[in-house]
């Protein structure tokens, strides 16, 4: 049902001064740029149980000072994604009475049109759903290895790792995005596939104006794109599409129209599958028509855990995201109140928890259809407490020592939706690197993923993210490669929706998503400050603490080095999230990086 003004005001108490702002926001939102207007206070019974706010304190000179970033605020519904046009597509579906799942699927298909660096039909992803009636589900539409894949397919004759798991046709797994989005819609949506596809079809057929974000993104990856067939569309005359030019994608529009009229199966068994298989053969890839026909998305039980009375619902294997976040939080929980945010003591404990959780992630997690994955043990409080005891505050233990005592893609995109009924969806999807493997299927109008690099192409050797993974995640035909994607929904202690969050950034997906959660729950930051705060990353190997430039004051760096940590400056993930607060739904896209601020609400 379309939420009318009266149905909105029946659940939200609108203060007189806020009413004018509400009307203003409606106008602004209809004009397509609904950001940053605070509307109303929610009724007290609706206010989520979140701890009292404390003013966040970030290092002097930090580029995103506390209190500066403004969340988009709306009373009823909110979408966050890395692309404003795609968020608008989802909002259009919500306005037409769709629920959060309808809107998430519309946003996902629109991202495939407007955000070619990571939105996709040629990749895969994960969706975590929590309906207002309490039902929760996790959908795995990760790519799978083609049936002709072999363990050593990325090694050369002398046994050395090549770049073929990263660039070109051989790097692609069988794409799951279309099957996944259709499965989500069928089980939890209320609208037809052709209805939710309508905005994406329109954007592909009529085109949209290239903005500076898209222009810069194409320019940055022009060498990769130029190698393959996508060059004619994205690099006309050899140059990146100009800002202000209109990008029309007829082949993609035709593919979307086929899916809308004949269903997702047509993508896997009809002419798109033929086209894809033919291009794979031409370009030295191994995905066949049979690989396409056998692809299936899988419904899974979400990972559930708690942290200090808050409940988390997240993604289980084949993603490592939910398990690694749960394990990290379970290691931290026995410490009780954490040291103050940003201190050396806080940073060291966080890094030590990540280090332990990533040792398990890299060694034990894989596609559960192929490996015995100890999810229950790794996410148990008892296991977290055992690992917590291995941490000596103030003294770093090197990863090999940790691993011994325990022995026994980067460029992804996340989007979240909360609808006026309180249904929530967190989705992360990827073609792995920006523009995937670079391979473009001209007849279908899509870039293909290079997700095969998320396997341990050579167990024990680092992949493009420097992740050193084990035998459980070796290449095998029909297997899903391990992911870090971590779409997560957090409930407050009264089991009410609090936070919907996820990220891009390869292994940094796990650390950035969990730091947003910690910043809200443990560090008591507003959502905007939780995103602005400097973040750290540790993935066990290499045994270095990666921190953002300007994110660690000199005295904190010196103290961490004195504890035995090696430090390195690096970039971080790109999360976005929605939080239910006493002043309505707050939506934030990360202030870092190449995102076009896709927080939209009404």
- Residues with catalytic annotation? 412
CB 174 within 8 A of CB 146: yes
Give the separation between CA 61 and CA 563, rounded to whole angstroms: 25
Q: How far is CA 577 from the centre of its chain?
A: 10
Q: Is 362 in the site for ligand GLY (CB under 6 A)?
A: no
Calculate the dihedral angle through the C-alpha atoms of 493, 499, 504, 510, rounding to the nearest 10 degrees.
Answer: -10
Q: Which residues pair with 123 in a beta bridge?
A: none
For the CB of residue 418, give the shortest distance to ligand GLY in the complex, in Å.
24
Supply φ then ψ for residue 196, to 5 degrees. -75, -20
Q: Name the residue whose CB lies closest to ligand GLY.
A: 409
CB-nearer residue toward ligand GLY: 320 or 476: 320
For the CB of residue 193, give the shortest distance to ligand GLY in the complex, in Å.
25
- DSSP result, 401-436: HHHHHH-----EEEEEEE-TTS-EEEEEEE-SSTTT
Residues of this chain, 44-63, that bind ligand GLY according to CB under 6 A: none
Give the separation between CA 288 and CA 294, rounded to whole angstroms: 10
Burial degree of 560 (CB within 10 A; 0-12, 13-18, 19+) = buried
CB-nearer residue toward ligand GLY: 252 or 484: 484
Helix axes 344-364, 554-563, angle to 10 degrees: 50
Residues of this chain, 375-414, that bind ligand GLY according to CB under 6 A: 409, 412
For residue 542, whether the previous peptide bond is cis, meaning omega lies within 30 degrees of 0, is yes
Contacting ligand GLY (CB under 6 A), which of 360, 363, 454, 492? 454
Q: Is 506 in the site for ligand GLY (CB under 6 A)?
A: yes
For the CB of residue 580, give the shortest distance to ligand GLY in the complex, in Å.
27
Contacting ligand GLY (CB under 6 A), which of 41, 80, 87, 432? 432
CB-nearer residue toward ligand GLY: 317 or 577: 317
Return all residues near 503 (Cβ < 8 A) that are at least 6 apart: 412, 414, 428, 486, 509, 512, 513, 516, 573, 574, 575, 576, 590
Q: Is 430 in the site for ligand GLY (CB under 6 A)?
A: yes
For the CB of residue 323, give the shortest distance to ligand GLY in the complex, in Å.
13
CB-nearer residue toward ligand GLY: 279 or 453: 453
CB-nearer residue toward ligand GLY: 114 or 433: 433
For the CB of residue 124, give the shortest distance to ligand GLY in the complex, in Å.
8
By CB under 6 A, how many residues form the interface with ligand GLY? 10
For the CB of residue 244, give the shortest distance to ligand GLY in the complex, in Å.
32
For the CB of residue 108, give the shortest distance to ligand GLY in the complex, in Å.
16
List the Cα angle 489/495/496 in 5-degree steps. 70
For the CB of residue 270, give the shortest distance to ligand GLY in the complex, in Å.
27
- Residue 293: which H helix or E strand, with range? helix 289-293
Give the separation between CA 108 and CA 533, rounded to whole angstroms: 28
Q: Is 324 in the site for ligand GLY (CB under 6 A)?
A: no
60 DSSP 8-state letter: T
Q: Is 427 in the site for ligand GLY (CB under 6 A)?
A: no
Q: For residue 45, count other CB atoms closer than 10 A to its CB.
A: 5
Give the separation between CA 169 and CA 105, rounded to whole angstroms: 27
In this structure, the strands spanning 310-314 and 303-307 are: antiparallel
Q: Is 574 in the site for ligand GLY (CB under 6 A)?
A: no
For the CB of residue 358, give the shortest distance to ligand GLY in the complex, in Å.
13
Q: Is 285 in the site for ligand GLY (CB under 6 A)?
A: no
Q: Is 143 in the site for ligand GLY (CB under 6 A)?
A: no
CB 313 within 8 A of CB 323: no
Q: Which residues pair with 221 in a beta bridge?
A: none
CB-nearer residue toward ligand GLY: 434 or 485: 485
Q: How far is CA 276 from the centre of its chain?
A: 26
CB-nearer residue toward ligand GLY: 432 or 539: 432
Q: Is 371 in the site for ligand GLY (CB under 6 A)?
A: no
Residues of this chain, 472-491, that bind ligand GLY according to CB under 6 A: 483-485
CB-nearer residue toward ligand GLY: 73 or 128: 128
Give the separation between CA 451 and CA 142, rounded to whole angstroms: 9
List the Cα angle 391/396/397 in 5-degree steps. 75
Cα atoms in the 13 Å half-sphere on the side-chain side of 131:
13
CB-nearer residue toward ligand GLY: 98 or 322: 322
516 DSSP 8-state letter: H
CA dist 161 → 144, 189, 471, 472 (Å): 21, 44, 16, 18
173 DSSP 8-state letter: P
Binding residues (CB under 6 A) for ligand GLY: these are 409, 412, 430, 432, 454, 483-485, 506, 509
């Amino acid at each position: 049902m379309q939420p009318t003004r009266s149905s909105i005001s029946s659940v939200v108490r609108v203060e007189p001064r806020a009413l004018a702002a509400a009307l203003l926001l409606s106008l602004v939102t209809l004009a397509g740029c609904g950001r940053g207007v605070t509307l109303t206070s929610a009724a007290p019974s609706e206010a989520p149980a979140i701890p009292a706010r404390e003013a966040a304190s970030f290092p002097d000179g930090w580029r995103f000072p506390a209190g500066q970033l403004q969340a988009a605020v709306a009373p009823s519904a909110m979408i966050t994604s890395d692309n404003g046009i795609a968020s608008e597509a989802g909002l259009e579906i919500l306005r037409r009475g769709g629920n959060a799942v309808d809107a998430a699927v519309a946003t996902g298909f629109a991202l495939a049109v407007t955000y070619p660096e990571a939105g996709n039909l040629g990749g895969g992803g994960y969706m975590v759903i929590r309906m207002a009636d309490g039902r929760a589900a996790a959908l795995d539409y990760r790519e799978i290895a083609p049936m002709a894949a072999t363990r050593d397919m990325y090694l050369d004759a002398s046994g050395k790792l090549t770049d073929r798991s990263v660039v070109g046709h051989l790097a692609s797994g069988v794409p799951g995005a279309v099957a996944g989005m259709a499965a989500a819609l069928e089980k939890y949506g209320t609208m037809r596939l052709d209805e939710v596809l309508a905005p994406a079809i329109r954007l592909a057929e009529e085109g949209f104006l290239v903005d500076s974000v898209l222009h810069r993104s194409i320019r940055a990856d022009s060498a990769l794109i130029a190698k393959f067939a996508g060059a004619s569309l994205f690099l006309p005359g050899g140059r990146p599409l100009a800002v202000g030019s209109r990008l029309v994608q007829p082949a993609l529009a035709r593919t979307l129209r086929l899916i809308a009229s004949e269903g997702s199966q047509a993508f896997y068994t009809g002419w798109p599958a033929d086209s894809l298989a033919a291009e794979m053969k031409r370009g030295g890839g191994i995905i066949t028509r049979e690989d396409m026909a056998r692809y299936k998305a899988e419904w899974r039980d979400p990972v559930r855990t708690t942290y200090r009375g808050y409940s988390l619902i997240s993604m289980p294997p084949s993603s490592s995201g939910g398990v690694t976040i749960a394990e990290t939080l379970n290691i931290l929980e026995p410490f009780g109140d954490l040291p103050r945010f940003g201190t050396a003591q806080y940073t060291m404990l966080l890094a030590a928890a990540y280090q332990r959780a990533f040792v398990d992630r890299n060694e034990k997690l894989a596609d559960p259809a192929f490996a015995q994955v100890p999810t229950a043990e790794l996410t148990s409080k008892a296991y977290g407490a055992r690992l917590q005891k291995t941490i000596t505050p103030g003294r770093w233990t090197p990863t090999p020592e940790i691993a011994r005592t325990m022995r026994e893609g980067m460029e992804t995109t996340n989007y979240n939706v909360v609808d006026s009924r309180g249904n929530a969806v967190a989705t992360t999807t990827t073609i792995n690197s920006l523009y995937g493997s670079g391979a473009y299927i001209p007849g279908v109008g899509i870039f293909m993923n290079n997700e095969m690099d998320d396997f341990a192409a050579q167990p024990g050797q680092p992949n493009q993210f420097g992740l050193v993974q084990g035998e459980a995640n070796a290449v095998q035909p029909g297997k899903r490669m391990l992911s870090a994607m971590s779409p997560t929904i957090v409930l407050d202690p009264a089991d009410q929706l609090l936070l919907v969050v996820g990220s891009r950034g390869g292994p940094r997906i796990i650390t950035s998503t969990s730091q947003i959660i910690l910043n809200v729950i443990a560090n008591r930051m507003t959502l905007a400050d939780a995103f602005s705060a400097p973040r750290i990353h540790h993935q066990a190997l290499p045994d270095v603490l990666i921190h953002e430039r300007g994110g660690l004051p000199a005295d904190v760096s010196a103290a961490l080095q004195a504890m035995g940590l090696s430090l390195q400056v690096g970039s971080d993930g790109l999360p976005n999230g929605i939080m239910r607060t006493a002043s309505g739904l707050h939506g934030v896209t990360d202030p870092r990086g190449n995102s076009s601020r896709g927080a939209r609400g009404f």
